[in-house]
Copies of this chain bind each other. A is one copy, B any other.
Amino acid sequence: MLEMIAFDADDTLWHNEVHYRDTQAQFLHILSPWAKPERVNAVLNEIEMGNLALYGYGVKAFTLSMLETAVKVSGARIEGEAVGQILALGRDMLQQEVTLLPGVEETLNILANDYPLMVITKGDILDQTNKVKRSGLEHYFRRVEVVSDKTPLTYQEVLSKNQIDPARFVMVGNSIRSDVLPVLALGGSAVHIPADTTWEHEMVSDFDDAQDGFYTLNTMKELPELLTRLVSTI
């Protein structure tokens, strides 16, 4: 028996990283009077990583990091118009249409008959909750949990709060770092479905894919069959 199948949201249920990349391309254009793309990308990445412990994940954090980058690479000569454009990039991301990944809706529709489903995602609580609503998928999920980061501790809190036994818990997501490693550490099962584009920060170079409880699929459509197999072994 499986007590809960949990899904990551961004780049597992719907496109997300592609919007960050599109936004970053526009940001490079706004900053083109001040610095070459390579330098802007490098500074932005460094600033984002430096802000992670303070800002956390999500669009608001990214927007603030873009603004800090703009001040830095322009030598504080950036002007109000560009600041307004960067703020608008952030606002656009928060209102972006939610585009589901292939097979997501049909798979959830199948699984919801047999298992309790939930979402576990990190980022801005309002933005992530709003995307679940805009996605049209909300009715499939018993719970939507937005966490500040995906660590064994935050998963532990979510599982304990929802009375879920880790041994009967399956997490499905595109990130080895966030959706797989912390869940395996708790004794749960993790299904990795790689996305077309993944944020470098989520990459793990030395992951051992022969671990117990780890599964990898090419597409969400293969999930019902895998879960049926899993149920027979747990």
Minimum distance in angstroms from A163 CB to a CB of chain B: 8
CB pair A60–B55 under 8 Å, yes or no, is yes
Give Cα A87 to B81, complex, Å.
17
Say yes or no: is A165 at the interface (Cβ < 8 Å to chain B).
no
Minimum distance in angstroms from A159 CB to a CB of chain B: 12
* Chain B residues positioned under 8 Å from A71 (CB to CB): 80-81, 83-84, 87
Copy total for this chain: 2
Say yes or no: is A147 at the interface (Cβ < 8 Å to chain B).
yes
CB pair A84–B80 under 8 Å, yes or no, is no
Say yes or no: is A126 at the interface (Cβ < 8 Å to chain B).
yes
* Chain B residues positioned under 8 Å from A80 (CB to CB): 70-71, 74-79
CB pair B55–A70 under 8 Å, yes or no, is no
Q: Give residues in A with beta carbon < 8 Å to B.
A: 54-56, 60-61, 63-64, 67-68, 70-71, 74-81, 83-84, 87, 90-91, 94-95, 124-127, 129, 143, 146-149, 161-162
Give Cα A67 to B66, complex, Å.
13
* Chain B residues positioned under 8 Å from A126 (CB to CB): 54-56, 148-149
Would you call the interface of chain A mostly helix, strand, loop, or mixed?
Answer: helix
CB pair B55–A68 under 8 Å, yes or no, is no
Minimum distance in angstroms from A215 CB to a CB of chain B: 28
Q: Report which of B76, B94, B125, B146 forms a contact with A79, defined as CB distance below 8 A.
A: B76
* Chain B residues positioned under 8 Å from A84 (CB to CB): 68, 71, 76
| CB pairs A–B below 8 angstroms (17 shown) | A54-B95, A55-B126, A56-B124, A56-B126, A60-B61, A70-B80, A71-B83, A71-B84, A76-B81, A76-B83, A76-B84, A78-B83, A124-B125, A126-B148, A129-B148, A161-B161, A161-B162
